[in-house]
Amino acid sequence: MPRYCCEMHSGWPGSLADVDLSDLAFWDRPWDEREAAFRLLRTEHPMARFEEPEILDAPVELETGPGYFAVTRHRDVTTASRHPELFCSSKGAVSILDLPTEMVEYFSGMISTDNPRHARLRRIVSNAFNPRRVRAIEDSIDRLATQVVDRVATQSECDFVTDVAAPFPLRIICDMMGVSPQDEATVLSCSNTILSMGDEEYVPQGTHPVTAFIEAAMTLTSLMEELAEHRLGTPTDDVTSALVNADIDGEALTKQELASFFVLLVTAGNETTRTAIAHALWAFTEHPGQKAIWQTDFEGTASTAVDEIVRWASPVTWMRRTVTGPTTLGGVELVEGDKLLLFYNSANRDEEAFVEPSRFDVRRDPNPHVGFGAPGPHFCLGAHLARREIKVIWRELFERLPDLTATAEPVRLRSNFINGIKHLPCSFTAAP
């Protein structure tokens, strides 16, 4: 049954009044209803305004601001991303609520900066993630995929997310950063807490989600500090060594910059790719014909299939931008300080940009999706790596567990930010 298809929805929402993107209950709705709501927004209210969610009893001051515009059309998301001079990332961070300055500095890193600072920070790490560097670690990506599949192959069922989709990118990013295997579980649990922002499974009972977020970031920071100390004296070829020994025009990264880089890279490198890999299994289960197309001609279909998976899954739902001065977007006049959320999920289903956007099509070409963000200075740094990871894990799975299918509905992450899947039971013929 095509669960994302707009024609299949229940009739909800009747009108804009039914839709509140700031209410978590909206994000609990079935995917097809969410799709229907975004379709309504795109076609009738492409720049609708919403109140900001209220976060009560937070341990730091998080003021509810004046609201935000939901940018839902592909062309408007693209325009905003291309013009950071008008739609910036550094004011109050890329979250809905403005974070206190110390928190922006510490936890959001370069994703919440603008030029010239952004260019300086991005230069330091871009080498580690460029196509040449990703090619250089292809062997280790292949090896880690084999290891992850080895661990489940002799069973005939598993939880695809916790057994395959989560450990694979986790191992790769930990390997790249130089984090030891003993610390991987800590990295996983901290990044779950940071990006889920409140899903009960990842926040200890009785703990405020903001407290849990801060504690998780502090844990990652101390892990990084320990590692950085080692790497200062004895650098290796890992990314942490490059960060601690970075020399930009005679300047080193500050301790805060180091910490925020580490938090950003391990969280961004983990949750997103896991989400894409998990959605792929659900999509293949619901669209076995598409799976067969890719299985039959793996190499010939890989590049379009991988991008279709990212479009389909849209792992990151939105990023925020803030207006720097009077301008217009989507026909709406904006003034300095206005907040915009760029809804990538909606842009990725925009009928103006895609032929039959509700169809999962592993041969889709062209596919101008904005799953990695739209072109602009903040375009996902890890896109080459993520594409490679998705391709390699599916090659391994098709070869060794060719009849792998999901056996129940995905258990979804309760989040308006990551379109996550927490659990996805699956079965397959056990392989020796």
Interface residues with ligand HEM (CB under 6 A) are 81, 110-111, 122, 173, 264-265, 268-269, 272-273, 276, 310, 315-316, 319, 344, 371-373, 376, 378-382, 385-386
Task: Please state the separation of Cα 49 from the chain's center in Å.
Answer: 24
Judged by CB, which is closer to ligand HEM: 40, or 244? 244
- Residue 382's alpha-carbon distances to 265, 268, 334, 355, in angstroms, are 9, 8, 32, 27
Q: What one-character DSSP code corresponds to residue 109?
A: G
Q: Report, in Å, the least distance between residue 316 CB and ligand HEM.
A: 4
Judged by CB, which is closer to ligand HEM: 382, or 410? 382
Judged by CB, which is closer to ligand HEM: 312, or 344? 344
Q: Report, in Å, the least distance between residue 282 CB and ligand HEM.
A: 15
Q: Report, in Å, the least distance between residue 369 CB and ligand HEM.
A: 9
β 405-406/425-427 pair status: antiparallel
Residue nearest to ligand HEM (CB): 382
Pair of tokens at residue 231:
């790497």
Q: Report, in Å, the least distance between residue 429 CB and ligand HEM.
A: 28
Pair of tokens at residue 76:
């408007």
Judged by CB, which is closer to ligand HEM: 218, or 380? 380
Judged by CB, which is closer to ligand HEM: 271, or 428? 271
Q: Find, among 267, 321, 366, 376, the residue nearest to 92 by Cα.
A: 321
3 state DSSP class of 264: helix
Q: Report, in Å, the least distance between residue 427 CB and ligand HEM.
A: 25
Judged by CB, which is closer to ligand HEM: 214, or 276? 276
Q: Report, in Å, the least distance between residue 420 CB and ligand HEM.
A: 11
Q: Find, among 25, 18, 41, the residue nearest to 343 by Cα.
A: 41
Pair of tokens at residue 197:
């922002």
Burial of 250 per CB tally in 10 Å (0-12, 13-18, 19+):
exposed
Q: Report, in Å, the least distance between residue 274 CB and ligand HEM.
A: 8
Judged by CB, which is closer to ligand HEM: 106, or 344? 344
Q: Report, in Å, the least distance between residue 177 CB and ligand HEM.
A: 9
Alpha-carbon gap, residue 413 to 410, rounded angstroms: 9
* Cross-strand partners of 320: 341
Judged by CB, which is closer to ligand HEM: 380, or 431? 380
Q: What share of the chain is helix, strand, coil (3-state, %, to 5)?
A: 55, 10, 35
Q: What one-character DSSP code corresponds to residue 323?
A: E
DSSP 326-394: SEEETTEEE-TT-EEEEEHHHHTT-TTTSSSTTS--TT--S----TT--SSTTS-TTHHHHHHHHHHHH
CB 97 within 8 A of CB 64: yes
Amino acid at 270: N
Amino acid at 226: E
Judged by CB, which is closer to ligand HEM: 216, or 265? 265
* Phi, psi values for residue 290, rounded to 5°: -70, -35
Q: Report, in Å, the least distance between residue 126 CB and ligand HEM.
A: 9
